[in-house]
Structure 1
Amino acid sequence: MNMDVCDDLQALRSESVQYVVAPYEADAQLAYLSRTGKVDAVITEDSDLIVFGCERIIYKLDQYGACVEIRRDRFAAVTEVNFVGWTDELLRQMCILSGCDYLPSIPGMGLKTAHRMLRQLRTAEKVIRSVRMDGQLRVPPDYEKAFRRAELTFWYQRVYDLDARALTTVNPVPQGLDISEMDFLGPLLEPEVARGIATGDLNPITKEPIVDLTADASKDQENIALHARRKPVSPWLQRNKTFRPKPSTTPNAKSITNYFSILLVFRLD
């Protein structure tokens, strides 16, 4: 396990700060915390949080407290683009049409074009059909299927519920929609595994218990000191007093960064 992640978890626990580790994607988990009122705002640099439906997002927060705040209840005040009467569904479809993490855009389809066509036609299906019939932009053969999958991912991605201590979805799944085989929403986990990941006790990649590397490193230092009483420590170790042996089972650091997201639960005054 990445040493920095373990240190962060230990710091949060020592200060009694409530947190949750996202079992799947951090964006979806943050959106769920926002939707259920667990947080007053989300601090991020990712525009996908708008598509996920966060009510209040803080961008470009600096050390002096300066930031850019985006509030969903003020979208109608935007003057550059007309969002009067614009629904969450239309906003989500506009963003997907212009390209998102789950689906590249139709070549040549930007935000302004997607917005204009949706205002005219009102549904993504009609927009895609119109673009395909027009022939000026090339629509991939399986685009409609991929679009539907992206919509489902934004709306029903699996997250962790702090109150129920179990997996749920960003938004309630309507009756008649079966998501049991939709692994792209997040493969189902055993309840105890989901709880272990969310509480920071299990590695979200390997599903193995997280070892407190800080404690292990301290023991290693003690062992080195004890050994030094009987045998001189090498000059390299004398120069590198913060030496910590690297565990042979350390997961790829990039994987940890991508999938192990610590989310603080906070309340703004």
Structure 2
Amino acid sequence: MGISGLLPVLKSCSRPVHVREYRGCKVVVDGYSWLHKGAYTCARELCEGIYTDRFVQFCLSRVELLRQNGLLVTVVLDGGRLPMKAEEEDTRKKTRRENLEKARTHLLAGNVSAAEDCYQKAVGISSSMAKQLIEALKDVGVPFIVAPYEADAQMCYLSLIGEAHAVITEDSDLLAYGCERVLYKLDRNGHGEEICLADLPRNKGLSFVGFSHNMFLEMCIMAGCDFLPNLPGIGIKKAHGHLKKLRSFLKVVKSLRFSGVPVPRDYEIRFQMVLWVFRHQRVYCPRRRECVHVRPLPPGGLGAADVDVPAAVPRRKHGHSAGNARPDGGSNSSGPCATAKGQCAGGSGNLAEQGQQEDGTTDAAVSDQEQEEDLLSFLGPMMPPDVAKGVAQGDLQPSSKQPYDLAQIYQGCPVQRMPRGVQRLLFPTPTTDTTTHALQRQPQQHHHQWRAHAHRPQKQAAHQEGRHGQPPLHHGKQHTGEPLQKDVPVAHGPRGALGGLPSTHTKPSHALSQQATKQGVGLGSAKGGTQ
């Protein structure tokens, strides 16, 4: 959904661009926005549980478009459900279920067109679909990262730490999060609309001269977002007008309540919490390989800052606000809390028997930390570093934190169409000649040539050495049994923190090698990748 009505009122400060303008730049892509578009092409199959990978092919075609124009692409995918978004997700799920019933009813009545329309409204993006895309990205050596929660917050964080020059998405939330440069409405030819936060003051219609980013964010929330619905009769233009006049959402809400607008009693508290979600939501840091906040919490915690609604500050039982310094002396503003470690062996030296942890913290201090983390869970519950890394690399399902069931995901998929990493996991001992499978994926004339030579073994050597001075078949290299894909690097072995990069066992194209070198952070090294 994004921010209701935001993009149309920013039309005058957007500019048409082609992706070639970003040549050599690192960009992050909202993978779910592409998955949604791709799913519309096969909505019926997805809704009825029939295996298809057409939505994956759609995403790969967009990736190839960007790479052909010299962009260094990282695909970012949504992770688990953020607690603050639970109500919106439940509403969407109910709507999809209703449209699925309508689609089946139309299909039984023979109204195929109406059925297809309802199927498109009913289709949702599951973690299994995301996993299919992840495995395909590994196959072609494209970096990716699965956010612990919202991909929007994750992309904003990558932009803030310098890992992205621009963000490609269809979601207007990115501007509210504070992304400096966002590309919308990317078409199949590489054309799109760019909006930069720095250009907002020159917008026509709604004037943002003198608007701070905090005021812009408050306007977006007041107009209605995924975390909080708008008040009756309040859209983007009215929210802008009220904030331009009163400069604070709290003053605006008081004015609206005084003028008779029905405002829920807890609206101000929820509004303040949504502000914190946009500012401090938990994301994954590929450098530290652990969960951090989009922006660090204030040094003294959420309550230490100038808060418009003090009642919204989460507090522990003894009264301290959440987000204070950790009991071990560390800061909780940008990383996970320390967790209790294992017991030490040895009589009276056992730290657990003394009520003390191995890192020096007491049981009471650890309990305080756990309570504090629970209070901050509206920003996204904390994940242990190893779990966060497993989710980010696409190894663990974001909600259950368990490995994916590849056999279930690829049920009904022909073996030849499976990504090679999936083939190796599901079929570790090939039951058929892998050379035959590989050549079946080549252009038809190559397949015919192989069939002809298969019945003439005495001519194989001459064929492989080449004839009349011409290069031999398959670009001068004897076929080794791996699928042959021209200029398409394949990811094997270890993956970097951004996922799916080739290790030393592969020979990526020169362009991809440059991409991995330029992106640098969290990527597999030349000696076997990150651990």
Amino acid at match of 2:177: F
Q: Residue 241 of structure 2 aligns with which residue?
A: 116
Q: 199-208 vs 212-221, which deviates more?
A: 212-221
Q: Percent identity?
A: 40
Distance 1:118 1:5, change over 3 A: closer
In the aligned structure 2, how far is the partner of 1:133 from the partner of 1:83?
26
In the aligned structure 1, how far is the partner of 2:187 from the partner of 2:249?
37
Amino acid at match of 1:46: D
Q: Residue 195 of structure 1 aligns with which residue?
A: 389
**TM-score for the superposition, normalised by structure 1:** 0.78
In the aligned structure 1, how far is the partner of 2:243 from the partner of 2:283?
30
Q: Residue 205 of structure 1 aligns with which residue?
A: 399
Report how far residue 208 of structure 1 moved.
1.3
Pairing of 1:74-89 with structure 2 (within 5 A):
74-89=199-214
CA displacement, residues 87-146 of structure 1 (integer Å, 9 cap, x when unaligned)? 1100000011111110011111111111111111111111111111121x1111111111
Aligned length: 231
Q: Residue 132 of structure 1 aligns with which residue?
A: 257
Compute the RMSD of aligned alpha carbons.
2.9
Secondary structure at 2:138 match in 1:
helix
When Rg is computed on C-alpha atoms for both structures, the one with the higher figure is 2
Amino acid at match of 1:176: G
Distance 1:3 1:191, change over 3 A: closer
In the aligned structure 2, how far is the partner of 1:78 from the partner of 1:263?
40
CA displacement, residues 45-79 of structure 1 (integer Å, 9 cap, x when unaligned)? 11111111111111110011111111111111101
Within the alignment, does 1:166 sit opposite 2:290 as a pair? yes
Q: 3-12 vs 185-194, which deviates more?
A: 3-12
**TM-score for the superposition, normalised by structure 2:** 0.41
Alignment counterpart, residue 219 of structure 1, candidates 415, 427, 434: 427
* Structure 2 residues not aligned, in runs of 5+: 1-125, 302-321, 324-372, 408-421, 433-498, 502-514, 520-531
In the aligned structure 1, how far is the partner of 2:134 from the partner of 2:168?
19
Within the alignment, does 1:102 sit opposite 2:310 as a pair? no
Alignment counterpart, residue 61 of structure 1, candidates 174, 182, 186: 186
Report how far residue 206 of structure 1 moved.
1.6
CA displacement, residues 135-185 of structure 1 (integer Å, 9 cap, x when unaligned)? 1x1111111111111111111100001111111111111122224312111
- Residues 12, 19 of structure 1: 8 Å contact kept: yes
* Structure 1 residues not aligned, in runs of 5+: 226-261
Secondary structure at 1:206 match in 2:
coil
In the aligned structure 2, how far is the partner of 1:222 from the partner of 1:187?
42
Distance 1:128 1:159, change over 3 A: same
Distance 1:65 1:2, change over 3 A: same
In the aligned structure 1, how far is the partner of 2:210 from the partner of 2:180?
17
- Residues 26, 263 of structure 1: 8 Å contact kept: no
Secondary structure at 1:107 match in 2:
coil
In the aligned structure 1, how far is the partner of 2:214 from the partner of 2:176?
9
Amino acid at match of 1:173: L
Report how far residue 17 of structure 1 moved.
2.7
Q: Residue 34 of structure 1 aligns with which residue?
A: 159
In the aligned structure 1, how far is the partner of 2:213 from the partner of 2:291?
24
In the aligned structure 2, how far is the partner of 1:147 from the partner of 1:91?
14
Report how far residue 9 of structure 1 moved.
2.3
Amino acid at match of 1:98: A
Which has the bigger relative contact order, CA under 8 A and spacing at least 6? 1
CA displacement, residues 21-55 of structure 1 (integer Å, 9 cap, x when unaligned)? 11111111111111111111111111111111111
Distance 1:190 1:104, change over 3 A: same
Distance 1:207 1:77, change over 3 A: same
CA displacement, residues 180-208 of structure 1 (integer Å, 9 cap, x when unaligned)? 31211100111110111111121112211
Q: Residue 24 of structure 1 aligns with which residue?
A: 149
Secondary structure at 2:145 match in 1:
strand
- Residues 21, 263 of structure 1: 8 Å contact kept: no
